[in-house]
């Protein structure tokens, strides 16, 4: 096992829903991430999108399907073993990866949200890893509400009445609710908008982290969190994100369909274990070569 977490780290993660892990990505893997980012920028994938905001902001998704560097890191890197320990899962499957690039002079923040709201996943065992390729101070990474994974609700899939001029325009979140009248919920979510956390910060246990290359932030996908902007840094802010599924993850057939996965498996059954759809969500742990070695 490459990275062995302490029992204290596992308990903190399960209690708070978010954890900073220092130095768990070795130098060769950092270079692999950088190569994946550069390939994505030079050779945009079929799902890359530009968000029309002040400055320049782009997203790319499912890079593992067409960039060998992304697939190598997502599948062979340190994350799967870390995910198994944090979720206490015997099997780990890759759900998706994502690249967010906020260029210098892009002040827009990503509003408070839960990842799971936009994704066809039910169950507790669904976690997100966030890292970057150069030092990023806390005020430019993300903020998280500790313990919000235990709120027991997935809020409506867009933020109603809580979009300020400094945040990403509402269309960027409303597009995930195509076919829904305002205030209506997608199947599997509440019809309640997420609390206006930014306006009542004193009510919540909000935490953020400075991140160095080699570090990652890992959090349950239903933790409420917010992405910061990049108004002044001369360099672009890179967010390399990977999401994994554990034993309890189940496919949620939502109506209208969830935004992610971008390319759902054919004939997916509601509440079927996600591990049934290995073509769409590859098994990354146990690793086949390790099982073969153990049997020899």
Q: What CATH number corresponds to the domain at position 272? A: 2.60.120.620
**Look-up of token digits 């954890």:** 19
47: containing domain: 7-295
Instruction: Supply the pLDDT for residue 293.
Output: 46
On whether residue 1 sits in a domain, the answer given is no
CA distances to 40, 69, 73, 277 from 280, rounded to whole Å, are 20, 18, 17, 6
Instruction: Supply the pLDDT for residue 294.
Output: 43
Cα–Cα nearest to 182, from 165, 153, 166, 162 = 162
Percent of the chain with pLDDT over 90: 70
Q: How many domains does the chain have?
A: 1
Helix (H) or strand (E) holding 143: strand 142-145
Distance of CA 266 to the CA centre of its chain: 23
Alpha-carbon distance of 115 to 143, in angstroms, equals: 13
At 140, list the tokens. 């430019």
Is 227 within 8 Å of 24 (Cβ atoms)? no
**Look-up of token digits 């966030």:** 130
pLDDT tens for each residue of 48-64:
998 888 889 999 999 99
Is 232 within 8 Å of 136 (Cβ atoms)? no
Mean pLDDT (the chain, rounded): 88
On whether residue 216 sits in a domain, the answer given is yes
End-to-end Cα separation, the chain, in angstroms = 19
Is 36 within 8 Å of 134 (Cβ atoms)? no
On whether residue 191 sits in a domain, the answer given is yes
On whether residue 46 sits in a domain, the answer given is yes
How large is the average pLDDT for residues 141-158? 91
On whether residue 51 sits in a domain, the answer given is yes
CA distances to 163, 195, 296 from 203, rounded to whole Å, are 19, 11, 56
Q: Is the pLDDT of residue 13 over 80?
A: yes
Cα–Cα nearest to 205, from 197, 195, 215 = 197
Which residues contact residue 129 at a Cβ distance below 8 angstroms, ignoring those fewer than 6 apart? 79, 82, 83, 216, 217, 218, 241, 242, 243, 244
On whether residue 254 sits in a domain, the answer given is yes
Lowest mean pLDDT among 16-20, 174-178, 257-261: 174-178
Q: Is the pLDDT of residue 246 over 50?
A: yes
Instruction: Supply the pLDDT for residue 231.
Output: 86
Q: What is the DSSP letter of 261?
A: S
Range among 93-97, 159-163, 179-183 rated most confident:
93-97
Q: Is the pLDDT of residue 186 over 80?
A: no
On whether residue 2 sits in a domain, the answer given is no
Q: Is the pLDDT of residue 107 over 80?
A: yes
- φ/ψ of 42, rounded to 5, equals -80, -30
Alpha-carbon distance of 185 to 177, in angstroms, equals: 8
At 101, list the tokens. 């690039």
Residue 81 DSSP SS3: helix
| Overall pTM > 0.85 | yes
Alpha-carbon distance of 29 to 27, in angstroms, equals: 5
């Amino acid at each position: 096992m490459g990275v062995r977490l302490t029992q204290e780290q596992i308990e903190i993660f399960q209690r708070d829903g978010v954890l900073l892990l220092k130095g768990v990505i070795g130098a060769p893997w950092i270079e692999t991430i950088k190569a994946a980012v550069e390939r994505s920028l030079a050779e945009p994938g079929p799902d890359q999108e530009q968000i029309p905001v002040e400055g320049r902001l782009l997203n790319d998704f499912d890079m593992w399907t067409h960039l060998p560097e992304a697939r190598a890191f997502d599948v062979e890197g340190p994350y799967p073993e870390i995910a198994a320990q944090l979720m206490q899962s015997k099997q780990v499957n890759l759900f998706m990866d994502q690249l967010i690039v906020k260029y210098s002079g892009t002040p827009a923040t990503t509003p408070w949200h839960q990842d799971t709201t936009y994704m066809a996943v039910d169950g507790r065992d669904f976690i997100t890893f966030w890292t970057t390729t150069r030092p990023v101070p806390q005020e430019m990474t993300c903020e998280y509400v500790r313990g919000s994974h235990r709120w027991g609700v997935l809020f409506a899939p867009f933020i109603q009445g809580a979009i300020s001029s400094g945040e990403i325009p509402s269309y960027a979140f409303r597009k995930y609710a195509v076919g829904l009248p305002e205030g209506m919920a997608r199947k599997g979510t509440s019809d309640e908008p997420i609390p206006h956390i930014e306006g009542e910060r004193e009510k919540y246990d909000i935490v953020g982290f400075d991140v160095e290359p080699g570090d990652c932030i890992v959090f349950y996908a239903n933790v409420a969190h917010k992405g910061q902007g990049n108004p002044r840094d001369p360099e672009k802010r890179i967010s390399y994100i990977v999401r994994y599924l554990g034993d309890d993850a189940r496919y949620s057939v939502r109506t209208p369909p969830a935004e992610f996965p971008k390319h759902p498996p054919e004939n997916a059954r509601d509440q079927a274990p996600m591990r049934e759809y290995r073509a769409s969500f590859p098994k990354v742990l146990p690793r086949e070569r390790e099982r073969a070695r153990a049997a020899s």
